[in-house]
């Protein structure tokens, strides 16, 4: 039956991006900013626990990173008691949702996709105001969220069909998949729509319930997505939306005996802490907790001597400085063969020098980093880097705005080469040849994305085999994974390789049951 339902769905197509070069499209986006400022700025938003909107113990302010003094909205601080209530309500909701019809889930996701299509520019504007993305970056993420709804609608039905087994002559044997329980979804500020939505939809599509804990820098992008799911028909107790401080929603959430699984995206430091704490069986806990974690990257772009250097340079600049380098997939290392090193460096530098830094609300090419703490940390890398490498361009900062920065002649042991900076800082390193370049690329504890530029089929074949990352891109930039096509997740300290948006993702949120009935 499920296969018949799948056959009734139209073929999946990625949501197209808005073309802001068209005057009428740009004007619609400007109007959306006016709407968002009238509708949301200055408002205080609630927790959602047990299907009810409730206040916490005080509030916290959310600031516009492009105008640090501007408070755009406020959110609640959940109490320890409210966390307990949220988990208990999620447990109670699980007993019903786990048996919900997969077609019901798929239909909700399809309706949510249609609702989001109508409000994309509004969601773009909200995101820009709370995390500093320009129009194209915000729109790319909201379009990905539409894709998530469409992809998970289909994946819900596909996994509900179970898997065939080798037959027995005297038994009817089936393999089916069942949900786990309450899933805590802990998300970052840099993709406040697509990342928490992907994790939550993985849980919900499988029949689990969710504790949705957004980053405190970007809660409204998440809150609106939860409200949109409810509008699409999701029972309101399937998601508990909680905001607040780490002392309440950090370790206590991860440690809680009734949390069955943690889905996390963020820093290596926090991901490792979650992984370690979740391994401890708490008093009264009846399972081993499952953890999926995506924890960042130090993503290389390898450029061979035979590559198209103009294409490589364009891909490097876009993937290094798009959203000020604040992507786990951002290119932060360029490893180029020595014969074309200087020429490529010049091309990348020239393109970088042309980038305009400014207000994301005005659709500037490069906007701010998320807050002053991030700007200060990036500045420390830039200051130390000038003692070990050659500063080619950039290096300056004003308030939360950090100039696109390039260092050349970076050695493989340098922190610029090894450590995730999470800002607009790019390291250029020279390789003796293309094979040495692959060795340098693999010299990292991370393994999320990489790009490889070459026209030689032999080199490309070797790169496909030898580059140790979860997402390898040949002759294109290393950012811009599309849901349903580029299953996303890395190796090593980049995380657990759960591959959101891919054909295996739902398996992480399920457990397998074999049923044998003798004839």
Do residues 410 and 426 lie in contact, with contact meaning Cβ atoms separated by under 8 Å?
no
Q: Identify whether residues 460 and 368 lie together within a single domain.
A: yes
Other CB atoms within 10 A of residue 118 CB: 8
Has residue 490 been placed in a domain? no
Answer whether residue 352 is part of any domain: yes
Q: Give the catalytic positions in this structure.
A: 294
Do the Cβ atoms of 317 and 478 come closer than 8 Å? no
Please give the pLDDT value at position 222.
98
CATH of residue 90:
3.40.605.10
362/438 same-domain check: yes
Question: Angle at the Cα of 200 (from 198 to 204), degrees rounded to 5?
Answer: 120
Q: 3-class SS at 167?
A: coil
Q: What is the CATH number of the domain that holds 427?
A: 3.40.309.10
Phi, psi of 159 (to 5 degrees): -75, -25
Q: What is the DSSP string of 288-324?
A: PPEEEEE----EEEEE-TTS-HHHHHHHHHHHHHGGG
Same domain, 330 and 433: yes
For residue 219, the enclosing domain spans: 2-11+29-295+497-518
448 and 503 fall within a common domain: no
Q: What is the mean pLDDT of each run of 10 residues along the chain (519 residues)?
A: 62 96 98 98 98 98 98 98 98 98 97 98 98 98 98 97 92 96 98 98 98 98 98 97 97 98 97 98 98 97 98 98 98 98 98 97 97 97 98 96 98 98 98 98 98 98 98 98 97 97 97 96
- Token output for 184: 């805590």
Q: Is residue 230 in some structural domain?
A: yes
450 and 328, same domain (yes or no) = yes
- Judge if 303 and 291 occupy the same domain: no
Rounded distance, CA 338 to CA 344, Å?
A: 10
Confidence (pLDDT) at 3: 55
Contacts of 357 (CB under 8 A, 6+ apart): 364, 365, 366, 367, 401, 403, 404
Tokens of 427: 């390291």
Domain count, the chain: 2
The secondary element (H helix, E strand) that includes residue 141 is helix 135-160
- Beta bridge pairs of residue 450: 472
Identify whether 393 is part of a domain: yes
CA distance linking residue 404 with residue 317, whole number of Å: 9
Give residue for tokens 């996994």.
159
Q: Please state the separation of Cα 418 from the chain's center in Å.
A: 21
- The distance of Cα 147 from the centroid of its chain, to the nearest Å, equals 14
The pLDDT assigned to 9 comes to 82
Grouping H, G, I as helix, E, B as strand and the rest as coil, residue 197 is helix
* Helix, strand, or coil (residue 287): coil
Q: In angstroms, what CA-CA distances link 302 with 95, 144, 309, 491? A: 50, 27, 11, 18
Closest CA to 479 of 350, 324, 277: 324
User: Residue 396 CB: number of other CB atoms within 10 A?
Assistant: 12
Tokens representing residue 101 in the block: 């019809």
252 and 354 in a single domain? The answer is: no
Beta pairing, strands 449-453 & 471-474: parallel
Tokens 């997939």, residue located: 329
How high is the pLDDT of residue 7? 59
pLDDT number for residue 10: 85
In whole angstroms, what is the distance from residue 395 CA to residue 191 CA?
25
**Is there a domain that residue 471 lies in?**
yes
Task: Tell me which long-range contacts 281-285 makes (C-beta under 8 A, separation of at least 24).
Answer: 282/255, 282/256, 282/257, 283/257, 284/257, 285/257, 285/258
Locate 428 and state its tokens: 């250029």
Distance from the Cα of residue 324 to its chain's centroid: 15
pLDDT in tens, 104-161: 999 999 999 999 999 999 999 999 999 999 999 999 999 999 999 999 999 999 999 9
Residue 268, domain member (yes or no): yes
488 occurs within a structural domain: no
Q: Are residues 109 and 156 in the same domain?
A: yes
Answer for the pair 267, 419: CB distance below 8 angstroms, yes or no: no
Residues 394 and 504 in one domain: no
Indicate whether 162 belongs to any domain.
yes
Cα 385 to Cα 387: distance, rounded to the nearest angstrom: 5
Burial class (CB in 10 A: 0-12, 13-18, 19+), 172: exposed
State whether 291 and 432 are in the same domain.
Answer: no
Same domain for 267 and 329: no
**122 in the same domain as 254:** yes
Find where tokens 């430091």 sit: 269
């Amino acid at each position: 039956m499920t296969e018949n339902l799948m056959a009734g769905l139209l073929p999946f197509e990625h949501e197209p991006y808005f073309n802001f070069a068209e005057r009428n499209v740009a004007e619609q986006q400007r109007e959306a900013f006016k709407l968002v400022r009238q509708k949301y700025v200055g408002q205080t938003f609630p927790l959602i626990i047990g299907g009810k909107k409730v206040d916490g113990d005080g509030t916290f302010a959310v600031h516009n990173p492009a105008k640090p003094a501007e408070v755009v909205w406020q959110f609640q601080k959940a109490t320890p008691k409210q966390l307990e209530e949220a988990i208990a309500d999620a447990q109670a909701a699980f007993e019903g949702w786990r048996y919900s019809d997969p077609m019901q889930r798929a239909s909700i996701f399809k309706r949510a996709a249609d609702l989001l299509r109508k409000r994309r520019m509004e969601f773009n504007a909200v995101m820009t105001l709370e995390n500093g993305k320009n129009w194209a970056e915000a729109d790319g993420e909201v379009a990905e969220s539409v894709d998530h709804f469409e992809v998970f609608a289909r994946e819900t039905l596909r996994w509900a069909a179970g898997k065939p087994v080798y037959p027995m002559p005297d038994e009817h044997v089936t393999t089916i998949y069942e949900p786990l329980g309450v899933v805590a979804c802990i998300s970052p500020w840099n993709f406040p729509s697509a990342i928490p939505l992907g994790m939550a939809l993985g849980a919900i599509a499988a029949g689990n319930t969710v504790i949705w804990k957004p980053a405190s820098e970007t809660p409204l992008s998440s809150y609106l997505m939860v409200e949109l799911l409810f509008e699409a028909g999701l029972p309101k107790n399937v998601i508990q939306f909680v905001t607040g401080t780490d002392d309440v929603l950090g370790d206590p959430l991860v440690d809680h005996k009734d949390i069955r699984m943690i889905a996390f995206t963020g820093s290596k430091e926090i991901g490792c802490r979650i992984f370690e704490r979740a391994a401890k069986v708490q008093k009264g806990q009846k399972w081993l907790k499952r953890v999926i974690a995506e924890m960042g990257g130090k993503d290389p772009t390898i450029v061979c001597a035979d590559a198209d250097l103009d294409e490589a340079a364009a891909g490097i600049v876009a993937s290094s400085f798009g959203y000020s380098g604040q992507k786990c997939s951002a290119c932060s290392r360029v490893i180029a063969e020595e014969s074309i090193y200087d020429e490529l460096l010049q091309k990348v530098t020239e393109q970088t020098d042309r980038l305009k830094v400014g207000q994301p609300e005005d659709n500037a090419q490069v906007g701010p980093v998320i807050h002053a703490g991030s700007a200060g940390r990036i500045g420390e890398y830039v200051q130390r880097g000038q003692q070990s490498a050659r500063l080619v361009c950039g290096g300056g900062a004003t308030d939360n705005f950090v100039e696109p920065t390039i260092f050349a002649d970076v050695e493989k042991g340098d922190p610029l080469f090894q450590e995730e900076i999470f800002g607009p800082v790019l390291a250029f390193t020279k390789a003796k040849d293309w094979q040495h370049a692959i060795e340098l690329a693999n010299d990292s504890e991370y393994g999320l994305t990489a790009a490889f530029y070459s026209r030689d089929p032999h080199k490309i074949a070797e790169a496909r085999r030898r580059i140790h990352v979860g997402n390898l891109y040949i002759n294109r930039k290393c950012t811009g994974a599309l849901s349903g096509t580029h299953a996303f997740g890395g190796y090593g300290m980049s995380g657990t390789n759960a591959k959101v948006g891919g054909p295996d993702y739902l398996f992480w949120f399920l457990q397998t049951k074999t049923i044998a009935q003798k004839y």
